[in-house]
């Protein structure tokens, strides 16, 4: 898993946790808002019920006053127990007698209060004076309801909770203005609110648990995914290590094989070099001497290549020298020219006037290019043609060897490894060595299908512009005469 995928998964986990918190908070907020709405609605209903009850009692009280008869004002009054006595009449106004007993709201949760302008004080239905500033202020202000504090409710003998009073006015021409106040305790409403609060808390808790459980399941799934990805990464690393071990095993086999070849070739090469030197010394004409000298030079190259590849197989780094790319192409072409002539295959070299310089080991690069040219020659039919071209693509040198052979199967193309070959007599080392050489030079070897049939073997490696002196040397070389 790369860094961007890791950051995305961490971001997804954080988003999930944030969504869980937001969902739980939203559920809790909705529950609280709904509960507050219910509380407000309940209080409005309690106030309305008290006012309705007060209106009913006031209507009955008004009818009772009218039944007492008379038209003259009764004058000032004073309270005597549960009755009001007036100066200009012998009649007593006793509210309890004027109201139906079943209608009187006077129990553990209700109280009926009477306020008369004739005495200007507030009393219970039984005539007991009470000090309730909130009710007096509401009556004086002409309001239809009032809220009593818990201490005021306690004075009336009600539970020490908020209480609501519904007020209703009665106008009588003889006995003046009366106000009936029905006080109701909110204890039962408070109990219902508490139960609703409990239900709301339970519902919010259950919903939060559902959201939390869902989130935990998702988090657990994500953890399992990460664990599975880590397991896959470990398996991939283990597979890579096994491939690396297998590659190292093949490299060790190559090292042993190369050491054996180098050892076995040392004696024959020494004999060939000695005989070539004798031939050169005993030659009677220049042509024979040049031939013997060429044998000596090629033997020296074979020895040098064997020592170089043996050193690389043992882990030695390739040389890092700067040289024109044209020198590598020129040398490789001169080494394989006779093979092409013998096979009846033409080698066409496309030259450029501005080949770049490169850094690396010229001997290894020449060997890699030689292998590609020989492979192309072997894949071509008689009177066929192989093309060698070089071009600069940005900061990359691209060397292409193109043939019109049978091509390479895609499954085979991916198996550039030692000892694997499609030729009956092939060793399987040519392409594998070329690929390894390009890897050492921070480049790559690519095998591509050629339009119309055949294969393009392309070498790509870092390069720089060629100097003017090297350009002049290249222009004089007959091997690059297009």
Domain-terminating residue out of 129, 164, 185: 185
Which pairing describes strands 83-86 and 92-93: parallel, antiparallel, or unpaired?
Answer: antiparallel
Question: What's the pLDDT score for residue 250?
Answer: 63
Domain containing 368 — which CATH number?
3.30.565.10
Mean pLDDT for all residues in the chain:
77
Residue 66 within a domain: yes
Mean pLDDT of 28-39: 58
Axis-axis angle for helices 187-282, 3-66 (nearest 10) = 170
Strand, coil or helix: what is 160?
A: coil
Choice among 12-21, 125-134, 206-215 with the minimum mean pLDDT: 12-21
Q: How far, in Å, CA of 423 to CA of 405, rounded?
A: 13
Domain-terminating residue out of 185, 202, 223: 185
Residue 203 within a domain: no
Q: Which domain holds residue 373?
A: 320-327+340-480
End-to-end CA distance of the chain: 50
Question: What's the pLDDT score for residue 185?
Answer: 83
Return the number of other C-beta atoms located less than 10 Å from residue 172's C-beta. 17
Residue 443 within a domain: yes
Give the tokens for residue 45. 């209903």
E strand segments, 176-326: 176-185, 321-324
Residue 476 within a domain: yes
Considering the entire predicted model, what is its pTM?
A: 0.42
Give me the numbers of helices (H) and strands (E) for the chain, helices first please: 11, 15
Choice among 268-272, 325-329, 408-412 with the minimum mean pLDDT: 408-412
Residue 287 within a domain: no
Residue 288 within a domain: no
- Residue closest to 415 by CA, chosen among 452, 445, 459, 453: 445
Residue 297 within a domain: no
pLDDT digits 0-9 by tens, 85-133 = 888 777 788 888 888 776 565 677 778 888 787 777 888 888 888 888 8
Domain-terminating residue out of 185, 202, 230: 185
Return the number of other C-beta atoms located less than 10 Å from residue 416's C-beta. 17
Residue 129 within a domain: yes
Looking at the structure of the chain, the number of domains it has is 2
Give the tokens for residue 95. 């509210």
């Amino acid at each position: 898993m790369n860094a961007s995928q890791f950051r995305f998964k961490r971001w997804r986990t954080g988003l999930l946790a944030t969504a869980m918190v937001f969902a739980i908070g939203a559920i809790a907020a909705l529950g609280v808002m709904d509960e507050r709405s219910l509380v407000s609605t309940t209080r409005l209903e309690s106030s309305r019920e008290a006012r309705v009850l007060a209106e009913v009692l006031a209507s009955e009280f008004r009818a009772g006053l009218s039944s007492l008869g008379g038209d003259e004002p009764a004058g000032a009054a004073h309270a005597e127990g549960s009755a009001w006595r007036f100066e200009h009449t012998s009649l007593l106004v006793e509210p309890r007698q004027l109201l139906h007993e079943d209608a009187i709201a006077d129990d553990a949760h209700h109280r009926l209060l009477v306020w008369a302008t004739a005495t200007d004080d507030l009393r219970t239905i039984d005539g007991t004076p009470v000090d309730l500033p909130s009710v007096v202020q509401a009556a004086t202000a002409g309001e239809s309801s009032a809220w009593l504090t818990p201490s005021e409710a306690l004075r009336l003998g009600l539970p020490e909770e908020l209480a609501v009073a519904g007020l209703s006015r009665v106008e009588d021409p003889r006995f003046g203005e009366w106000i009936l106040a029905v006080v109701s305790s909110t204890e039962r409403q408070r109990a219902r609110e508490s139960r609703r609060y409990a239900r709301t808390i339970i519902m919010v808790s259950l919903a939060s648990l559902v959201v939390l459980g869902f989130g935990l399941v998702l988090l657990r799934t994500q953890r399992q995914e990460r664990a599975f990805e880590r397991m896959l990464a470990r398996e991939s690393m283990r597979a890579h290590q096994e491939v690396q071990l297998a590659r190292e095993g093949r490299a060790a086999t190559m090292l042993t094989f190369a050491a054996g070849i180098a050892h076995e070739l040392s004696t024959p090469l020494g004999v060939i070099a000695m005989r070539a030197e004798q031939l050169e010394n005993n030659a009677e004409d220049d042509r024979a001497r040049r031939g013997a000298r060429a044998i000596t030079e090629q033997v020296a190259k074979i020895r040098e290549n064997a020592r170089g590849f043996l050193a690389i197989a043992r882990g030695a780094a390739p040389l890092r020298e700067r040289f024109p790319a044209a020198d590598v192409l020129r040398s490789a072409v001169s080494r394989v020219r006779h093979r092409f002539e013998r096979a009846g295959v033409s080698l066409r070299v496309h030259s450029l006037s501005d080949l770049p310089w490169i850094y690396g080991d010229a001997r290894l690069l020449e060997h890699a290019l030689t292998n590609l040219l020989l492979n192309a020659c072997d894949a071509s039919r008689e009177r066929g043609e192989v093309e060698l071209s070089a071009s600069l693509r940005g900061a990359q040198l691209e060397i292409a060897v193109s043939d019109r052979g049978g091509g390479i199967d895609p499954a085979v193309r991916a198996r550039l490894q030692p000892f694997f070959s499609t030729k009956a007599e092939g060793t399987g080392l040519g392409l594998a060595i070329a690929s390894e050489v390009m890897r050492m030079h921070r480049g790559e070897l690519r095998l591509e299908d050629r339009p119309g049939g055949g294969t393009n073997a392309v070498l790509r490696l870092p390069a720089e512009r060629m100097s003017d002196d090297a350009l002049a040397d290249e222009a004089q070389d007959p091997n690059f005469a297009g």
